[in-house]
Structures are given as C-alpha cells and as structure tokens.
Amino acid sequence: MIFVIDVGNTNITLGVFDGDELKAKFRLTTQINRTSDEYGLLISDLLSLRNIDREDVECVVISSVVPRVNYSLNLGIKKYLELNAINLGVGTKTGIKIPIPNPKEVGADRVADAVGAYETYGGPVLVADFGTANKYDLITEDGSLIAAVTCPGLKMSANAMWSGTAKLPEVEIALPDTILAKDTVTSIQAGLVYGCIGQTEYIIKRMIKEAGLDKCTVVATGGLGRIIAENTDVIDIYDPDLLLRGLKIIAEKNKIIK
C-alpha cells in the first residue's frame, strides 16, 4: 500500500492507496507544535481504525507547504511506520516539466496536482485548486506546467473581511439562493461565493486564451472546489482526490514501492 500525505496551510490530508483504490482518507488540522510521537500515534490510530496494518504500508510520500511541520512528521513516520518518507521536491521524478525561471518556487502541492491531472486526464489541462489559497495551474499537452495564478481563497477572504470590520458577522460559506441578497448574512455569502465564481471564470478563460489553446480540460479540486464547480460551466470535472492520486503516481514513478 502507498501512504500519501498533503500538508496544507489549514489541513493535513492523508490517504492510503491499495493499487488504484483510495482505501482510506483522513484529515487533520495543521499544527506546527505537534511532536513526532503525536504524529506517529495519530497516524497509527487512524490506520488501525480502518483495519490497515502498518506493515502493509510499503512507502510514504509527502507534499508540504508548511516547512515547520516537516521534521516532526517525517520523524514520526520513521519511528512508528519504520519507513523513510520521500518528500516531494527538487530531484523527485514527477514526469512534469516546469519551464519557468525558478522551478523551486513552485509548491509541492501544485506539482502533485499537476501530476494527478496530467496523468489522469491528459493535456492540456488546467487545475483549479480551491483551498486556503485559490490556485490555477496550466499544464500543456507535453506535460509542461507553464503558468500559475494564486489568489486568496474563500476562507482567507472571509477571515480578512470579518477581522477588518467591526459589525460584519462570521457566517457559513454557502451559496445563497440568489445574488439579490436582502440581509447581512446572504449579502456576505453572495459576495464571497459569487465573487469567487466570477474570479474563477475570468482567470480560467483568460489563461486559456493567452496560452492560445482551443481546447483545455479544466479540473477543480480542493475542499471548497465542489461549491464552485457546481455553479459554473468553465469547470469540466470536480476531483476531490486529485492531489492524493498525484502523490501515489509520483511514488510509482520513483520506484519506492516493493
């Protein structure tokens, strides 16, 4: 089995693949002060709850955009699973080309998304990942990640509004029945969600146009991707497990499985 871990700014998502099947999926809050033993025990307990024997885990692959988590997480895996995790970074075989001035600037999560999208849906493909930040990445037919756009995510935008105003309340991020809001709650919801939909449509159309592409598959992913994907016609597919699948493919490309 292949154990994959995505360390994001808000959550840590973990998955276990048995062949091509995602056998289990877990989510933890990202906390930089967890010790290696805490990570090891959490992982061991989660696997046990899904009746997954730790000895059946052949390898671990990590993508992380939170460097302060990496040491304790890697040590916890080494202590409790007795495996050295591969951390996605420079030198890792991915099959994706990054023809930009400084490839090191591209986050590991974006690379994993690109691998998952390109290997699953072919190219050209545009990935829209809706998380703490909204990320739009364009991969060409030959597997080159040629452009990346980054914007504040829905929760980040909402938190900025709530913390920067005295009277606006915190509300659930949800799509109201109409953009013609008539109260404070639906007014905020309409601005956040419909604003994100508008941003998404413009950025995707503009990226595809400037790249000179006639056709391009658009794949949405991320925790808040479903609400956007279901309310616009510029997104073709919603794939919540895209990044995890990308990490599984990377494990296979690096031949770190038995």
Residues taking part in catalysis: 109
Secondary structure tally for the chain: helices H, strands E = 7, 10
Q: Is the dihedral of CA 194, 199, 200, 206 positive or negative?
A: positive
Q: What is the largest CA-CA distance in the chain?
A: 60
One-letter identity of residue 168:
L
Q: Which of 130, 250, 112, 114 is nearest to 192 (CA)?
A: 130
